[in-house]
Amino acid sequence: MARDFHPEGVPLIRLAGLKRGAPLLTGCDFLDGEKVSQRWAHFRLQQGDVLLSTSASLGETATVDVSGEGAIAYTGIIRFRPKGDKILGRFIPHALTAPSFKRQIEAVGGGSVIKHFGPTHLRQMTVCVPPLREQQAIAEVLGSLDDKIAVNERIAATSLALGDGLHEILQRTSEGAPASAIADLTTGEHLRLGDGYRTKRSEYGTPGLPILRVAEVGDGQITPAFGDSVREEFRPAMGGKVSAPGDVVLTTKGTVGRVAMISPAHPEFVYSPQVCYFRVTAGSAVSRFYLFHWFRSKEFWRQANGMKRQTDMADYLSLRDVKSLRMVIPPRELMAEFDKKCTALYARLEAARSENRTLADLRNTLLPQLVTGKIRVKDAARVMEDVAS
If one counts every other C-beta atom within 10 angstroms of the C-beta of residue 253, the result is 20
Alpha-carbon separation of residue 279 from 72, 189, 192, 300 (angstroms):
37, 10, 5, 18
Q: Which of 303, 329, 355 lies at the terminal end of a domain, its last residue?
A: 329
* Residue 373 counted as domain residue: yes
Averaged pLDDT, 333-353: 93
Claim to verify: residue 82 and residue 146 sit in the same structural domain: no
Residue type, 92: I
The domain that holds 217 is classified in CATH as 3.90.220.20
Percent of the chain's residues with pLDDT above 90: 38
Claim to verify: residue 20 and residue 56 sit in the same structural domain: yes
Phi/psi for 243 (5° steps) reads -65, 155
pLDDT class of 200 with cuts at 50, 70, 90: very high
Claim to verify: residue 245 and residue 269 sit in the same structural domain: yes
Claim to verify: residue 241 and residue 324 sit in the same structural domain: yes
Alpha-carbon separation of residue 74 from 82, 141, 316 (angstroms):
21, 32, 18
Averaged pLDDT, 15-40: 83
Claim to verify: residue 151 and residue 193 sit in the same structural domain: no
Contacts of 68 (CB under 8 A, 6+ apart): 11, 13, 24, 25, 45, 47, 49
pLDDT digits (tens, 9 = 90+) for 52-104: 988 767 788 888 988 889 999 988 899 999 988 888 888 898 888 887 888 88
Contacts of 136 (CB under 8 A, 6+ apart): 88, 90, 91
What is the helix (H) or strand (E) element at residue 37, kind and residue range? none
State residue 306's pLDDT score. 80
* Residue 300 counted as domain residue: yes
Claim to verify: residue 324 and residue 340 sit in the same structural domain: no
Claim to verify: residue 121 and residue 98 sit in the same structural domain: yes
Give CA–CA dist 104/100, Å, rounded.
7
Whether the CB-CB separation of 258 and 287 falls below 8 Å is answered with: no
Count of structural domains within the chain:
3
pTM over 0.85: no
Alpha-carbon separation of residue 344 from 8, 95, 161, 162 (angstroms):
38, 39, 14, 11
Claim to verify: residue 152 and residue 210 sit in the same structural domain: no
Please classify residue 264 by burial: count the beta carbons closer than 10 Å to its beta carbon, then call 0-12 exposed, 13-18 middle and 19+ buried.
exposed
Please classify residue 238 by burial: count the beta carbons closer than 10 Å to its beta carbon, then call 0-12 exposed, 13-18 middle and 19+ buried.
middle
Nearest to 326 by CA among 361, 360, 366, 297: 297
* Residue 288 counted as domain residue: yes
Would you give the DSSP letter of residue 208?
E
* Residue 173 counted as domain residue: no
Claim to verify: residue 30 and residue 107 sit in the same structural domain: yes
Report the phi/psi class of residue 274: left, alpha or beta, with left for phi > 0 and alpha for psi in -120 to 50. left
Claim to verify: residue 92 and residue 121 sit in the same structural domain: yes
Q: Which of 291, 308, 329 lies at the terminal end of a domain, its last residue?
A: 329
Give CA–CA dist 235/46, Å, rounded.
47
Q: Which of 65-69, 213-217, 282-286, 366-370 has the lowest mean pLDDT?
A: 366-370
Strongest mean pLDDT among 212-221, 318-327, 362-371? 318-327
Percent of the chain's residues with pLDDT above 70: 93
Q: Which of 314, 329, 344 lies at the terminal end of a domain, its last residue?
A: 329
Q: What is the distance, to the nearest Å, from the Cα of residue 54 to the centroid of all Cα atoms in its chain?
A: 15
Claim to verify: residue 195 and residue 311 sit in the same structural domain: yes
Give CA–CA dist 247/264, Å, rounded.
10
The answer to whether residue 267 scores a pLDDT higher than 50 is yes
pLDDT class of 317 with cuts at 50, 70, 90: confident
**What is the domain extent for residue 20?**
2-129
Count Cβ neighbours within 10 Å for each residue of 335-355 and write b for 16 or more, e otherwise.
beebeeebeebbeebbebbeb
* Residue 12 counted as domain residue: yes
